[in-house]
Amino acid sequence: MAVDSTEGARELHQQLRGPVDMSRYEARDRDFAELAVPVLLSRTLTAEQCRAAHWRDDEQLPTTSEELRDLLLGYGYMAGRLDLAVRIALEDLGGDLPNRRWAVFSRAGWHWRVLLGHWGDRRGCPRSA
């Protein structure tokens, strides 16, 4: 039996770790809703894009933009769906980027808040979900 699987070990680990500050996760979810959801709702997503964004195989794909919006806001931040939003924004913006080095997806992904905010400014999108 592994040491960390005992009840005492779990309690000790929880005590040593201390309380978890959830504010950064809440901010990330809020930013995702405000910045990424409008990008994802800006076009009809293909089944291939949905699968690439890590929709579960047993999860029914949304058929309307309202269903998609509710699904995205219900789950909050998910890395695969954020990646899809960044790819869409890069495609839409072309060379009109806040930083030209962000034309590479791996770099743009690190700066998703600025990139998606820039996308929204260019599209005239309000910043609330």
Residue pair 95/101 in contact (Cβ under 8 Å)? The answer is no
Name the residue with tokens 């680990």. 13
> Which residues contact residue 75 at a Cβ distance below 8 angstroms, ignoring those fewer than 6 apart?
81
3-state helix, strand, coil in the chain (%, to 5): 65, 0, 35
Write the CA distances from 58 to 61, 73, 75, integer angstroms.
9, 19, 16
pTM assigned to the model: 0.77
Name every residue whose Cβ is closer than 8 Å to that of residue 37 and which is 6 or more positions away in sequence.
69, 72, 73, 85, 129
Q: Which residues of the chain have pLDDT under 70?
A: 1-5, 54-55, 126-129
pLDDT of residue 75: 86
